[in-house]
Amino acid sequence: MKREHQALVLRACGASRLRVGGTIQALWGGYGEIVRVQLEGCARPSAVVKHVRFPGDVEQTERSHRRKARSYQVESHWYQNYSSVTTGASGRCRVPECLEVHCCGEETLMVLEDLDVAGFDQRRTSVNDQEVKACLSWLAQFHALFLGVTPVGLWPVGTYWHLETRPDELEAMEDLQLKAAAGEIDRKLNECHFKTIVHGDAKLANFCFSREGQDVAAVDFQYVGGGCGMKDVVYLLGSCLDERECEKRVPGYLDYYFTELKSFLNKEVDCAALEAEWREMFAFAWTDFDRFLLGWMPGHWKINRYSKRLTKEVLRKLKL
For helices 271-296 and 243-264, angle between their N-to-C axes, nearest 10 degrees:
140
Domain positions in the chain are 3-113, 129-319
- Topology alike, domains 3-113 and 129-319: no
Provide DSSP, 145-186.
HTTT---TTSBSS-STT-GGG-HHHHHH---HHHHHHHHHHH
Q: Return the CATH number of the domain spanning residue range 3-113.
A: 3.30.200.20
Instruction: List alpha helices for the chain, DSSP H.
Output: 3-13, 62-81, 129-145, 167-172, 176-190, 230-240, 243-264, 271-296, 305-319
Per residue in 276-314, pLDDT tens?
999 999 999 999 999 999 999 999 999 999 999 999 999
| Vertex 85: Cα angle to 83 and 87 (nearest 5) | 90
For 188, how many CA atoms within 13 A lie in the half-sphere containing its CB? 23
Per residue in 139-176, pLDDT tens?
999 999 999 999 999 999 999 999 999 999 999 999 99
* CA 275 – CA 258 distance, rounded (Å): 7
Residues 6+ apart with CB under 8 A from 3: none
* CA 232 – CA 234 distance, rounded (Å): 6
The residues with which 187 forms a beta bridge, in sequence order, are none
Determine the average pLDDT of the residues in 11-30: 94
3-state secondary structure of 125: coil
> pLDDT category, 58, cuts 50, 70, 90?
low
Does the predicted TM-score (pTM) go above 0.75? yes
* CA 164 – CA 167 distance, rounded (Å): 7
* CA 160 – CA 171 distance, rounded (Å): 17
Phi, psi of 123 (to 5 degrees): -115, 150
Per residue in 31-57, pLDDT tens?
999 999 999 999 999 999 999 999 876
* CA 89 – CA 319 distance, rounded (Å): 42
| Vertex 173: Cα angle to 319 and 72 (nearest 5) | 105
What pLDDT score was predicted for residue 56? 77
Per residue in 235-280, pLDDT tens?
999 999 999 999 999 999 999 999 999 999 988 999 999 999 999 9
Contacts 24+ apart (CB under 8 A), 91-95: 91/215, 92/137, 92/138, 92/141, 92/215, 93/138, 93/141, 93/142, 93/145, 94/118, 94/120, 94/138, 94/215, 94/216, 94/217, 94/218, 95/217, 95/218, 95/219, 95/221
User: In the 8-state DSSP scheme, what is residue 122?
Assistant: B
Per residue in 90-100, pLDDT tens?
556 899 999 99
Say if residue 234 is exposed, middle or buried (CB neighbours under 10 Å; 0-12, 13-18, 19+): buried
Residues 6+ apart with CB under 8 A from 162: 155, 186
Say if residue 152 is exposed, middle or buried (CB neighbours under 10 Å; 0-12, 13-18, 19+): exposed
Residue 220 and residue 202 in contact, taking contact as beta carbons nearer than 8 Å = no
Q: Return the CATH number of the domain spanning residue range 129-319.
A: 3.90.1200.10
What pLDDT score was predicted for residue 132? 98
Nearest to 283 by CA among 260, 261, 315, 305: 315
